[in-house]
Chains A and B, each alone.
Chain A
Amino acid sequence: MEQVQEKQRTEEFDASEIEYVIYGGEHHLPLIMNLVDQELSEPYSIFTYRYFVYLWPQLSFMAFHKGKCVGTVVCKMGDHRDSKFRGYIAMLVVIKPYRGRGIATELVTRSIQVMMESGCEEVTLEAEVTNKGALALYGRLGFIRAKRLFRYYLNGVDAFRLKLLFPQPEELHPFLPMMADRDDTQNHDDHSPREEFLLKSILFSEVVCKFSSLV
């Protein structure tokens, strides 16, 4: 998904004035949605937000300054394909006047800390290759650029898949697993937003039925 863009003009405030709050319920949802809708280009439905904050409330944090919500992080964790237990940072936003003061780092550090304590082996996320601020932020936290995803975002920009591996218990000997599937070039690896849109149309009829219960 998407990550915070780099700083512009700054607001005068003291770091101690920023209050960090864990997701506490439905009343926080509009605050998170507002921030993300304002700052990020991809449209997310209410289902997407609720999917994250209802299943992993312990991984979502908000930053407040004098009662105003100025930043948020939304995450998940679960088993990945190859059965690795993995954390995922879905959205990270700090509004422009508050950037460059470590708020994003603090938010994301809190989530990663919980992920590590919950037994995650690694944490991943995607960021635009042009988003130097986010790349530097995650680089400082120990993330590597594991892959480049060609034209990942709908605006045609490539993404990096960033990964943070937590220290593992003693490494096992490398081994040779059985040969991968023959027609290797045909395997879809990472789902792209385009597939998501493909799926959007397929799932359309199902969702329409669910829609009325949420308005």
Chain B
Amino acid sequence: MDRHALHQPSSSSSSIPATANTVWTDASPLLEVACKDLRDGELIHVDNFNLYAAMSALEIMDPKMDSGIVNRYCSVDEAIEDGVAPVPISTDKTTDVQCMIDIMDHLLTCEATWHKGHSLAQTVFSCAYLLRPERTSSHALLHSYCKVIRATCKAVITVVSDARTHEEEDLFTMAYGLPLSGDGDEKCLSLLNAVEENISRQLRACKAPSSKRKPLEDIEPLQTNFDLEEGYCKALLCRLRFRKHFFHVLTCMRRPQGRGLELARKHIASCISELGVILKSAEFLMSNAHGTCEDATEDRTTASGHQAIGFDASLNSRISAPTPPRSIKILSWKKAIEYFEKLLHDLDIICSYPLDPSLEVLLRFVAQFQKAQPDLVARAHLQLLLVQDGKLYGKCPMFSLIIRAARLPEVFLHHDIQKNEYVVQLGQLVINMLKILCTNAAWQRRKLGKILQDWRVIYVQIELAFRKDFGEGSSISNGDNASARILKHILIWVDEQTYWISHRFLILGFELELYSPSEYCMVYWYLYVVLIRLAEKTHLKMTVSDGSAKQKGKKRKDSPKELARDAKIPPAISFLQCQICLAEGLTVLLAALRNELMVLQSPSPFNSEHERFIQHFELLQKACIPDNISYPSFKESTSYARFSTLAMYNYFKDAQKIAKEARSGFSNDPDRLAELRVLEQVAEHNSIALNVICGVGALDPSLKVSFEFIHHPCFATVVVKRS
């Protein structure tokens, strides 16, 4: 049944006519008879009436559920007829300009609210002016602004739906029945430029000294109050320019192979500076607001504090089926500006990324980018930049990315093995992983957990293919033809990458607050185990590739200098070692607290720690990450932990020392240097805390030990207090 039909006065006006084989009849008497047969609580239903169906049922005329319920207006046209959105907004030119600025501001807050997860219909398109594009054509300023808003929304929707990373944010792209493409919206910029040019001339005219004003007199001022002319011209100009540059940002960033990134950065800088001017205009706009200021608080959605004309969130309640009819809260004007500043900053980070061909660098970049919790629009842009047409940045084939990641020389970039079905599949896995890394942290963690299996399986498949092609006898270590060498390196890298994913899976759990303090011990223990393997695999990859390079280069192997370099631990490994010590230290400390003070244990009536272990690490265990690790191994390695052992061997001191030494290796990597400093801080702090605990006497009942993430998001800082 059509939802609109409910509100039509009678069924005779139905738009579906009777045909030769069908006829309309009134079913009410039949239903009434049927109802008499039913007792309270009985339901006529089909077999597949499940929870889903029950939850999806609507109670008609319940304002919480029935979005078809008549609100103030039955239709947009009715609202417009009632004068909701007059054109011009006011016959008084000054008021018209003031109202125009309010509309611009409110639209900005609506746009930010949309980006933050509410429906387009209830936010941006609650503006009646946008809904009827033809009505605004007599008002150049309003018309051009509406056009650029619609075009911008369309561009943003395209980015997000092309990226397809928005599973849990799917409300974003829903735009049923909304006029997203008005006639000529694609040329929005030329109209916007013309309007901007006109206002610039008006501004010049009013600023010119009165002696020089004569030749410019043919220019009609923006509005009638000369004293306010400059202020209003400026307030409009920054708003128009922001829209222009923002639209440019979106189009530049979509150019293939990242060709528009440099230009996009210039427009981003302009956007940010216009936002600053917009913010500053608030003082002028508030002091000259038309009529009374209804809402001058922090919650206001316009700079002037005046409510914008032409908006009604209920206008679309019927054409936006999935939107629940309940009212939503639009962000404040200040919050909206903050949102856009953050968005532009995030986009700028993407644009300044040098499109490095190394996967290692790329993964670090994405992880770093995600730390700032970018919103959907920025994440969608990043994903589209990373993966275009199945290639990295739209230009590097996945095979070449894999070759580099496996530290193979570039001569193999075009080797035939790239056609091997498992190598092709591996490329697909890499694409999949990159896309997942661009999603929100909650979704990302779940997906990373699931793809671990795929990475395990591809490892086994490549290994089998290797044995088949090169004979059972040929151990992986002595493949001497090119294919064998490539596969050998790829295998080592796949193994390492699998541990990298596992590591990310575990640490995202901290960010998402999935672990409770009573579970920290097993989480740090698992993290410790995974970190050790990751360090091993990384080291193996480095050694093997260095070994091959040396053999190839036939260098003198015995030079003492080289031996010294070999003996030195690579910075990447030290970085991991520092974390290993921290994880181990925290595991042992937590275990000692449990064993000696009987704290941080959580007995439960229905299950034990064993079940919680299985649940937390189910996906890792299923993928055998690592092999032969289970709850008994955790118990075995932690049940004897005592403070006396910790006092003798302070893991945090080691971590601190390694962090200090590793610094020099990252002199040109500010992000990792910064993280290293934080790790060092945690290590130093925890080392002192440990001394306090052991010194004061661990069994002192007044001692309260807690774990807080004040320095690092996943390595807890131990806080000791006396109660």
Query: Which A residues form the contact surface with B (CB < 8 A)?
Result: 26, 29, 43-48, 50-51, 54, 76, 109, 112, 116, 129, 139-142, 144-151, 154, 156, 158, 160, 163-168, 171, 174-180, 182-186, 188-189, 191-192, 194, 196-208, 210-214
Contact in complex: A178, B457 (CB < 8 Å): yes
Contact in complex: A145, B513 (CB < 8 Å): yes
Contact in complex: A211, B60 (CB < 8 Å): yes
Contact in complex: A171, B612 (CB < 8 Å): no
B465 → chain A closest CB, angstroms: 15
Q: Which of B48-56, B278-286, B352-360, B578-586 contacts A (4 or more CB under 8 A)?
A: B48-56
Q: Which of A54, A147, A184 contacts B432 (CB 8 A)?
A: A184
Pairs of residues from A and B, 4 with the lowest C-beta to C-beta distance, nearest first: A142-B604, A43-B64, A201-B321, A51-B54
Residue B332, interface by CB 8 Å: no
Instruction: A45-B57, A142-B612, A176-B453 are known; give 16 further A-B pairs, CB within 8 A.
Output: A45-B59, A48-B55, A142-B604, A142-B611, A144-B519, A144-B612, A150-B442, A165-B607, A167-B608, A179-B457, A185-B432, A204-B3, A207-B57, A208-B60, A211-B59, A213-B43
Contact in complex: B40, A174 (CB < 8 Å): no
Jot down 27 A-B pairs with beta carbons below 8 A, ordered by A.
A43-B64, A45-B55, A45-B62, A54-B41, A116-B606, A140-B602, A140-B604, A145-B515, A148-B441, A164-B607, A166-B606, A167-B607, A167-B608, A176-B460, A179-B454, A180-B453, A184-B454, A185-B165, A185-B435, A185-B447, A196-B52, A199-B56, A200-B57, A201-B321, A207-B56, A210-B44, A213-B31
Residue B270, interface by CB 8 Å: no
Known: A210-B43, A213-B42. A154 touches B453 (CB 8 A): no
CB-CB under 8 A from A50, the residues of chain B are 41, 43, 54
CB-CB under 8 A from A198, the residues of chain B are 321-322
Residue B467, interface by CB 8 Å: no
Contact in complex: A46, B59 (CB < 8 Å): yes
Contact in complex: B440, A194 (CB < 8 Å): no
Q: Which of B59, B60, B451, B615 contacts A180 (CB 8 A)?
A: B451
CB-CB under 8 A from B458, the residues of chain A are 179
Residue B35, interface by CB 8 Å: yes
Residue B266, interface by CB 8 Å: no
Q: Chain B residue with minimal CB distance to A129?
A: B513
B65 → chain A closest CB, angstroms: 5
Contact in complex: A204, B1 (CB < 8 Å): yes
- Kindly state the separation between the CA atoms of A198 and B171 in the bound complex, as whole angstroms: 10
Contact in complex: A205, B1 (CB < 8 Å): yes
Residue B20, interface by CB 8 Å: no
Residue B415, interface by CB 8 Å: no
Q: Which of B52, B436, B610, B612 contacts A191 (CB 8 A)?
A: B52
- Kindly state the separation between the CA atoms of A131 and B58 in the bound complex, as whole angstroms: 27
CB-CB under 8 A from B610, the residues of chain A are 167
Q: Provide the B236-260 mask, 1 if CB < 8 A to any CB of A, else 0.
A: 0000000000000000000000000
Q: Which of B1, B41, B436, B614 contacts A185 (CB 8 A)?
A: B436
Residue of B57, B60, B436 with most chain A CB atoms under a 10 A cut-off = B57
CB-CB under 8 A from A213, the residues of chain B are 31, 34-35, 38, 42-44
Q: Which of B101-109, B618-626, B646-654 contacts A (4 or more CB under 8 A)?
A: B618-626
Q: From residue 103 to 142 of chain B, which have CB atoms closer than 8 A to chain A?
A: 116-118
Residue B446, interface by CB 8 Å: yes
A118 → chain B closest CB, angstroms: 14
Q: How many B residues are at the interface, by size bracket?
A: 35 or more
- Kindly state the separation between the CA atoms of A17 and B42 in the bound complex, as whole angstroms: 35
Q: Chain B residue with minimal CB distance to A178?
A: B457
B318 → chain A closest CB, angstroms: 10
Q: Provide the B570-582 mask, 1 if CB < 8 A to any CB of A, else 0.
A: 0000000000000
Q: Chain B residue with minimal CB distance to A202?
A: B56
B32 → chain A closest CB, angstroms: 8
CB-CB under 8 A from A177, the residues of chain B are 453, 622
B568 → chain A closest CB, angstroms: 38
Q: Chain B residue with minimal CB distance to A1?
A: B55
- Kindly state the separation between the CA atoms of A26 and B40 in the bound complex, as whole angstroms: 8
A212 → chain B closest CB, angstroms: 5
Contact in complex: A174, B622 (CB < 8 Å): yes
A186 → chain B closest CB, angstroms: 7
Contact in complex: B52, A186 (CB < 8 Å): no
| Majority secondary structure of chain A interface residues (helix, strand, loop or mixed) | mixed
Q: Which of A45, A146, A212 contacts B514 (CB 8 A)?
A: A146
Residue B539, interface by CB 8 Å: no
CB-CB under 8 A from A140, the residues of chain B are 602, 604
Residue B168, interface by CB 8 Å: yes
Residue B686, interface by CB 8 Å: no
A67 → chain B closest CB, angstroms: 23
- Kindly state the separation between the CA atoms of A59 and B379 in the bound complex, as whole angstroms: 43
Contact in complex: B117, A180 (CB < 8 Å): no
CB-CB under 8 A from B606, the residues of chain A are 112, 116, 141-142, 164, 166
CB-CB under 8 A from B602, the residues of chain A are 139-140, 142
- Kindly state the separation between the CA atoms of A64 and B3 in the bound complex, as whole angstroms: 42
- Kindly state the separation between the CA atoms of A126 and B443 in the bound complex, as whole angstroms: 16
Contact in complex: B607, A142 (CB < 8 Å): yes
Q: Chain A residue with minimal CB distance to B620?
A: A174
Q: Which of A54, A151, A205, A210 contacts B117 (CB 8 A)?
A: A151
Residue B22, interface by CB 8 Å: no
Known: A145-B515, A184-B450, A185-B432. A163 touches B52 (CB 8 A): no
CB-CB under 8 A from B611, the residues of chain A are 142, 164-168
CB-CB under 8 A from B55, the residues of chain A are 44-45, 47-48, 196, 199-200
Known: A149-B168, A167-B607, A191-B52. A197 touches B324 (CB 8 A): yes
Residue B516, interface by CB 8 Å: yes
Contact in complex: B45, A43 (CB < 8 Å): no
A168 → chain B closest CB, angstroms: 8
Q: Chain B residue with minimal CB distance to A37?
A: B64
Contact in complex: A141, B457 (CB < 8 Å): no
Residue B563, interface by CB 8 Å: no
CB-CB under 8 A from A200, the residues of chain B are 55-58, 65
Residue B169, interface by CB 8 Å: yes
Q: Which of B117, B322, B621 contacts A197 (CB 8 A)?
A: B322
CB-CB under 8 A from A175, the residues of chain B are 622
CB-CB under 8 A from B513, the residues of chain A are 129, 145, 148
CB-CB under 8 A from A146, the residues of chain B are 514, 615-616
A41 → chain B closest CB, angstroms: 9
Residue B326, interface by CB 8 Å: yes
Residue B170, interface by CB 8 Å: yes
Contact in complex: B168, A151 (CB < 8 Å): yes
Q: Chain A residue with minimal CB distance to B39?
A: A26
CB-CB under 8 A from A142, the residues of chain B are 602, 604-607, 611-612
- Kindly state the separation between the CA atoms of A198 and B615 in the bound complex, as whole angstroms: 31
Q: Which of A158, A165, A204 contacts B615 (CB 8 A)?
A: A165
- Kindly state the separation between the CA atoms of A153 and B45 in the bound complex, as whole angstroms: 28
- Kindly state the separation between the CA atoms of A141 and B608 in the bound complex, as whole angstroms: 10
CB-CB under 8 A from B604, the residues of chain A are 140-142
Contact in complex: B169, A163 (CB < 8 Å): no
CB-CB under 8 A from A156, the residues of chain B are 116-118
Q: Chain B residue with minimal CB distance to A142?
A: B604
Known: A180-B450, A189-B446. A51 touches B51 (CB 8 A): yes
